[in-house]
Copies of this chain bind each other. A is one copy, B any other.
Amino acid sequence: MKATLLHGPKDIRVGEVPEPALLESTDAIVRVTHACICGSDLWPYRGVGLDGDGPAEPQRIGHEFLGVVEETGSDVTSPRPGDVVVAPFTFSDGSCEFCRDGLPTSCVNGGMWGSGGVDGGQGEAVRVPRAEGTLVRLPGGSDEALSASLLTLSDVFSTGHHAAVSASVKRGSTVVVVGDGAVGLSGVLASARLGAERIVIMGRHTPRTELAERFGATDVVPERGAEGVERVRELTGGHGAPHVLECVGTDDSLATAVGVVRDGGAIGRVGAPTYANIPQSAETFFRNVTISGGVAPARDYIPELLPDVLEGRVQPGLVFDRTVGLDDVADGYRAMHEREALKVLVRP
């Protein structure tokens, strides 16, 4: 079958790999109908975290997918072959103490797609470990009009939701979202869904901030750095906002988040950190700023978010602005890397 393989920096190709087969009694095989490219896939694509010229062996990639169950191991009661399922961006057993506590990303039997002998999501099929704990059955089956939105439950919308939850967003909140990438936009939508009253997005790419407004943003601040902080403070009564979603993951974006958060407020950080340390320890201490968030426990959020997607109350799939076939996945990476596309859907 065909799957996306990372050969080295900027060298991504579709190649032939063996058809997946059940290895454990808890596995399932899923035929992928929809996958996508994540902002975090661009890090290895750009060579970050790769040794020398790239992986010694071409590496499977992709961690967001929707598909149809083809086969299940003997210990998998649900889902059943033929079921349409969405996979969260980490797999998990659904039964360990962390899964029971709602933190499947820390599952003692869990892991990531695309490494350690586990398939990546950007291919024709995937062997899913811990299938019963990992996969979420989509009750309506496959509804093409909803597919893009259902696919975002895998990562990007769940991650935006995690940012909002971690920043304690609730009905009536004033929120600042740092970053207008697909995660930031999902954070806007998640905040609006939780009832936030005022949502300021910090971003300078007009098509993206327009989508942010469609998702519920009430204000757009294109300025960056100290100027952006000043502008947000003006908009929020001089002291910043109690709830800040950090959706980028760089030193600069974190400093901006600290600059726009109100004393006593919380920063929900979901941008995969490219910074080594959290700066401004004294400032956050004297201002009682809480720094929360991390990798989103998508598997735990999907049951809560799913009804709103199925019933069309939210349309997180609007973050996709391009669709490519599997053979064109390299062009999808290029388009996202060059900021020509916001988020690319892949149809194997």
> How far does the Cβ of A96 sit from chain B's closest Cβ, in whole Å?
10
Interface string of A214-242 (1 = CB under 8 A from B): 00000000000000000000000001000
Asked if A263 is at the interface (CB within 8 A of a chain B CB), the reply is yes
Q: Give the residues in chain B near A285, CB-CB below 8 Å.
A: 269, 272-273, 293-295
Q: Which of A89-148 contact B (CB under 8 A)?
A: 97-98, 101-103, 105-106
Q: Give the residues in chain B near A295, CB-CB below 8 Å.
A: 285-286, 288
> How far does the Cβ of A241 sit from chain B's closest Cβ, in whole Å?
13
Which of these, B272, B277, B279, B294, contacts A289 with CB under 8 Å? B294
Q: Could you say how many copies of this chain the assembly holds?
A: 2
A279 touches B277 (CB 8 A): yes
> How far does the Cβ of A288 sit from chain B's closest Cβ, in whole Å?
4
Q: When chains A and B are docked, how far (Å) is the Cα of A314 from the Cα of B176?
A: 41
A290 touches B288 (CB 8 A): no
Interface string of A233-257 (1 = CB under 8 A from B): 0000001000000000000000000
B264 touches A106 (CB 8 A): yes
Q: Give the residues in chain B near A105, CB-CB below 8 Å.
A: 286, 288
Asked if A211 is at the interface (CB within 8 A of a chain B CB), the reply is no
Q: Give the residues in chain B near A288, CB-CB below 8 Å.
A: 103, 105-106, 293-295, 297
Interface string of A264-296 (1 = CB under 8 A from B): 100001001101111111101111111111110
Q: When chains A and B are docked, how far (Å) is the Cα of A46 from the Cα of B211?
A: 55
The closest CB in chain B to the CB of A264 belongs to B103
The CB with the most chain B CB atoms within 10 A, among A166, A285, A292, is that of A285
The closest CB in chain B to the CB of A294 belongs to B288
A287 touches B106 (CB 8 A): yes
Q: A277-B279, A278-B278 are in contact. Are A291 and B294 (CB under 8 A)?
A: no
> How far does the Cβ of A27 sit from chain B's closest Cβ, in whole Å?
25
Q: Give the residues in chain B near A166, CB-CB below 8 Å.
A: 290
Q: When chains A and B are docked, how far (Å) is the Cα of A329 from the Cα of B271?
A: 50
> How far does the Cβ of A254 sit from chain B's closest Cβ, in whole Å?
8
Q: When chains A and B are docked, how far (Å) is the Cα of A97 from the Cα of B263?
A: 11
The closest CB in chain B to the CB of A290 belongs to B292
Q: A287-B294, A291-B290 are in contact. Are A275 and B264 (CB under 8 A)?
A: no
The closest CB in chain B to the CB of A272 belongs to B285
B275 touches A278 (CB 8 A): no
> How far does the Cβ of A100 sit from chain B's closest Cβ, in whole Å?
11
The CB with the most chain B CB atoms within 10 A, among A275, A291, A297, is that of A291
Interface string of A197-221 (1 = CB under 8 A from B): 0000000000000000000000000
Q: When chains A and B are docked, how far (Å) is the Cα of A294 from the Cα of B273?
A: 23
Q: When chains A and B are docked, how far (Å) is the Cα of A291 from the Cα of B281?
A: 11
> How far does the Cβ of A84 sit from chain B's closest Cβ, in whole Å?
29
The closest CB in chain B to the CB of A242 belongs to B101
Q: When chains A and B are docked, how far (Å) is the Cα of A108 from the Cα of B239?
A: 10
27 chain-A/chain-B pairs, Cβ below 8 angstroms:
A97-B239, A98-B264, A105-B286, A106-B263, A106-B264, A106-B288, A166-B290, A269-B285, A272-B285, A273-B282, A273-B285, A275-B281, A276-B282, A277-B277, A278-B278, A278-B284, A284-B294, A285-B293, A286-B294, A288-B294, A288-B295, A289-B294, A290-B290, A290-B293, A291-B291, A291-B292, A292-B292
